[in-house]
Amino acid sequence: MTGHPFPVESGHILMFARAIGDENPAYEHLAPPTFTWASAHFDPDCHLRPKPGEEWFGSGAGPGVMPEGGGGLHAEQHFEYHRPVRVGETLYAHTVPGRSWEKQGRTGRLLFSERITEYRDADGAPVVSARTVAVVPEGPATPKSGEPANSSTGKDDTR
Amino acid sequence: MSPHVDDIKVGETRESVLVDDLKRTRIVQYAGASGDFNPLHTDHVFATEAAGYPGVFAHGMMTMGMTGRVLTDWVGIEPLLSYGVRFKAQVWPGDTLTATATVESIEDAPAGPVAQFSLRTVNQHGAEVVTGTATVRLES
């Protein structure tokens, strides 16, 4: 199989189910609907966890540094289920870029981009198709107000 | 395993309080479980001084995960065919979130009846933080 392996483990599901406050007894055998998001743990290239020997952008002695493009937000997330994800199986995640488009917000252009991840089983059969829409405001990151992102842009595409 | 088509009616609705006074520790729990350690969500110093936010805020995917419960408590996990959301506003520590699922339509698909749900999660001020849809396979 192509893509990085994602072992669906019961202890991992227990921790995930507690975190989202959904401790359905069915999670003994099946994964919660958004659990494939946690495949980030098994993605060798995931940049949202600190790695040994690499600079991490969070605070330490100093406040940390907002990375390039760090003003991006998650605008939409969609999952299609071809069948439930079962505890004990290994899925293979393969991500490709999707469409990209622009919209004029009140404070400037908003750049939207899609990422499509297919989770397949060991036989190559599709299990979950995930579509992520991210939005990045064009130009340098500006200080954020306490307002939700959508009230500063007049759009409802950002959180 | 799926709900029977006779047990689900168009217009029927369920409401669930997902979290009352969201604690930062819960956000830390989600960071650990999801593998998304973006310090925006757990590192107050970074969020305020480096990123310019008033403080840390929950991962959108945490709110999507929590919102899923109003559906999974109702129909279970196996019959879910799709689940999608738009993130409308940030969720902050101290927020109380309430999710509502509504049956919008029931259609006869080739493989059997499918119910279309709308989903909406609001905070304690009544502001939408997440809206979405889900489709669920029904037994006939």
Shortest distance, CA B135 to any CA of chain A (angstroms): 9
CB contact under 8 A, A149 and B61: no
Model pLDDT, residue B14: 98
| pLDDT tens for each residue of B67-104 | 999 999 999 999 999 999 999 999 999 999 999 999 99
Question: What percentage of chain B has pLDDT greater than the value 70?
Answer: 99
Cβ–Cβ below 8 Å for A70 and B53: no
Alpha helices in B16-112 (DSSP H): 24-34, 44-45, 60-75
pLDDT band at A78 (very low <50, low <70, confident <90, very high): very high
Judge whether A49 is closer than 8 Å to chain B, CB to CB: yes
Band of pLDDT at residue A38, cut at 50, 70 and 90? very high
Question: What does each C-alpha distance from A65 to A149, B46, B62 come to in angstroms?
Answer: 21, 8, 24
Distances in whole angstroms, Cα of residue B138 to Cα of each of A17, B19, B79, B89, B122:
25, 29, 7, 32, 28
Interface touch B77/A20, C-beta < 8 Å: no
| Contact flag A76-B39 (C-beta cutoff 8 Å) | no
Residue A116 has pLDDT above 70, yes or no: yes
Domain A4-46+68-153 is classified in which CATH homologous superfamily? Hotdog Thioesterase (3.10.129.10)
Mean pLDDT of A37-51: 94
| The pLDDT of residue A149 | 41
Q: Where along chain A do its domains lie? A: 4-46+68-153
Q: What's the average model confidence in pLDDT over A104-117?
A: 92
* Residue A153 predicted with pLDDT over 50: no
pLDDT, averaged across chain A: 88
| Inter-chain touch A77–B64, beta carbons under 8 Å | yes
Hey, which residues 114-133 in chain A have their CB within 8 Å of chain B?
A: 131
State the smallest CA–CA distance between residue B34 and chain A in angstroms: 4
Model confidence at A156, pLDDT cuts 50, 70, 90, reads very low
- Pull the structure tokens for residue B11: 């217009």
Chain B residue closest to A59 (CA)?
B46
List chain A residues with CB under 8 Å of B68.
20, 22, 32-34
Q: How far apart are CA A135 and CA A6, in angstroms?
A: 27
Provide the CATH topology of domain B5-22+59-137: Thiol Ester Dehydrase; Chain A (3.10.129)
Question: B38: which chain A residues are within 8 Å (Cβ-Cβ)?
Answer: 48
Residue B61: which of A26, A57, A77 has the nearest Cβ?
A77
B88: chain A residues, CB-CB within 8 Å: 148, 150, 156, 159
Q: Which of A2-6, A120-124, B74-78 has the lowest mean pLDDT?
A: A2-6
CB pairs under 8 A between A and B: 179
Q: Would you list the domain boundaries of chain B?
A: 5-22+59-137
CA B98 to chain centre: 9
Report pLDDT for A138: 79
Residue-level pLDDT at B1: 67
| Residue B38 to residue B33: CA distance in whole angstroms | 13
The answer to whether ipTM exceeds 0.95 is yes
**What is the rounded CA–CA span in Å between residue A28 and residue A14?**
8
Interface list for A 78-107 with B (CB within 8 A): 78-81, 84
Angle at A79 between CA A76 and CA A83, to 5 degrees: 175
- SS3 label, residue A151: helix
Residue A154's pLDDT is 34
Q: Which residues of B touch A50 (CB under 8 A)?
A: 37
Task: Taking residues A5-23, report their average pLDDT.
Answer: 98
Specify the pLDDT at position A139: 64
Q: In this prediction, what percent of chain B has a pLDDT beyond 90?
A: 97
